[in-house]
Structure formats: C-alpha cells, structure tokens
C-alpha cells in the first residue's frame, strides 16, 4: 500500500512551476538592466516566502482525504425532508442532499433522523436512527 505524500511536499511540488516562471522573468529583467540582480533575488525570495507563509492556511486542501470532500459526511446526522422510499432528500447541516435508504428499511417518514453510512457520487446512503 502506497502512502500519500506529505501535504507540504504536494504544496511545494505545485509551487515549483510558479517559482521557475518568477525566476525566469526576474532573470530576464536583471539581464536587460531593468532590475539589479540583488533586487531580483530579494523579490524571488519574497515570492517564495509568501508561498510558505500561506501554506498553513492552504494546508487542508493538500491533506489526504476524499478529493471531493464527501468523506467528511460519513457518520453525519441529518433529517429527512420527504419520505425516503427508497430515495428522497435529507438535510445534513445546512445542505440538502439526495439520499437513499436500503429497500428493507424503507419507507422512512419525513422529519425522521438519519445517519450517513456511505457516499456514492453525490448520493448519500443513510440509515434511520
């Protein structure tokens, strides 16, 4: 089983093209005399420092998990907005989701509490509480 790369490694890898582009532009400006080499180096260092300063804020986007964010819904509690027989809509937090319940547990009446047990595509699979 392969391990997911560390979030910082993923972040730095995705910043490399921007750093390379900034290096080329600043190098060309320095070569043409529009910018001194020390100022170009200072600007590049500031650009890279900015990216590292932003990493703590952006880290969550680079952490391992479900790419669409639905993994955080597993185990969440919701309320049916209409009868699930076996499909309908449930409210989880402030969002309305299409949901499905196993046929042997259907129907689940409107207003009943449910728990999310699986997410497939954008459909929540729920069980009544």
CA atoms within 13 A on the CB side of 50: 10
> What was the pLDDT predicted at 17?
97
70-128 has which fold?
OB fold (Dihydrolipoamide Acetyltransferase, E2P) (2.40.50)
> What was the pLDDT predicted at 1?
46
> What was the pLDDT predicted at 61?
79
**Facing residues of 108 across strands?**
84
Segment-wise mean pLDDT, segments of 10 residues, the chain, 129 residues: 76 96 96 93 97 92 69 89 95 94 91 94 92
Sign, CA dihedral 4-6-10-16, equals negative
> Using CA atoms, how far apart are residues 48 and 39, in angstroms rounded to an integer?
14
Cα separation values, 92 from 14, 49, 53, 54, 114, Å: 33, 39, 34, 31, 9
> Is residue 52 within a helix (H) or strand (E), and if so which, with residue range?
helix 37-58
> What was the pLDDT predicted at 126?
96
> Using CA atoms, how far apart are residues 114 and 19, in angstroms rounded to an integer?
48
125 touches 118 (CB < 8 A): yes
Question: What's this model's pTM, rounded to 2 decimal places?
Answer: 0.52
- Say whether 35 sits in a helix, a strand or coil: coil
Domain boundaries, the chain: 7-62, 70-128
> What was the pLDDT predicted at 124?
95
């Amino acid at each position: 089983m392969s391990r997911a790369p560390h979030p910082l490694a993923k972040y730095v890898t995705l910043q490399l093209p921007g750093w390379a582009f900034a290096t080329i532009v600043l190098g060309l400006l320095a070569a043409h005399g529009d910018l001194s080499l020390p100022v170009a180096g200072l600007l590049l260092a500031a650009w890279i420092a900015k990216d590292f300063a932003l990493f703590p804020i952006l880290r969550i986007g680079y952490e391992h998990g479900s790419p669409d964010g639905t993994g955080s819904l597993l185990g969440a509690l919701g309320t049916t907005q209409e009868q699930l027989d076996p499909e309908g809509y449930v409210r989880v937090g402030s969002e309305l989701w299409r949901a499905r319940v196993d046929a042997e547990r259907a129907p689940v009446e409107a207003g009943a509490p449910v728990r999310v047990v699986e997410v497939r595509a954008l459909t929540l699979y729920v069980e009544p509480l």
